[in-house]
Amino acid sequence: MENKENNNSITFPLKIQNIRIFVIEYSLIVENTVSSVLGALLGIEWEKSKSFGYKNMSLSFSQRINLIQDLKSVDKLGKTKFQFLMTIRNKFAHVSEINSFESFFNVLGKDVNSLKNKLRDWYGPSKIEDSINQEYCKYFFYLFCDCMEILIDLHKDHAYHIGLEEGKSETRQLILKLLIEELKEMENGTEIFAKIESIIRRK
């Protein structure tokens, strides 16, 4: 997502029944993809590793995002987008009063003004008839797509630099396979995946 014009041409594919679940499920896709990318960069099988696997000693979501942000190949804008996604995910996951974007903004008040305004600047404007929840669910979805695109590029570039000329297409297929696995249990999963794939291929 580089500008508002691109975003305005994309139809938001979801009817959100539970915003908390929506945020957490999409954040989980990012978390697993982050782990996959870091595993590739470090040359380890992430699912079996102590740091990125499913054991109690594994790094937290925030710690994994911090590692991605530390990479020199992730620019300042990319780091900010990961930070915003992590902030939203953590608040929805850990603050019981937050179950919608409206409550998210109400609970945190002025502390989230920068986040709120940046999302609107990057991905707006929304339709006039959209509620604040509809509006920011759309923006979160576009934020998710941007973070996924950054991760795909990291994985693709790594494959290229270690001499795998075919790595670009292979990496895209691996990431898309991961997305399919994560989405297949979600409502309207097939439609969601098709939309995400279309967005990623725009670049």
Tens-place pLDDT, residues 38-66: 877 777 776 677 677 666 667 777 787 88
pTM over 0.75: no
Which residues, including other chains, have CB under 8 Å from residue 87's CB and lie 6 or more apart?
Answer: 112, 115
Alpha-carbon distances, residue 26 vs 49, 86, 134, 157, 194 (angstroms):
23, 11, 16, 24, 15
| Other Cβ atoms closer than 10 A to 186 | 16
Tens-place pLDDT, residues 91-149: 999 999 999 999 999 988 777 888 988 999 999 877 766 788 989 999 999 999 999 98
For the chain, the domains span 4-200
Distance CA 24, CA 111 (A): 21
Question: Phi and psi for 188 in degrees, rounded to 5?
Answer: 60, 30
Distance CA 23, CA 90 (A): 10
Model pLDDT, residue 162? 63
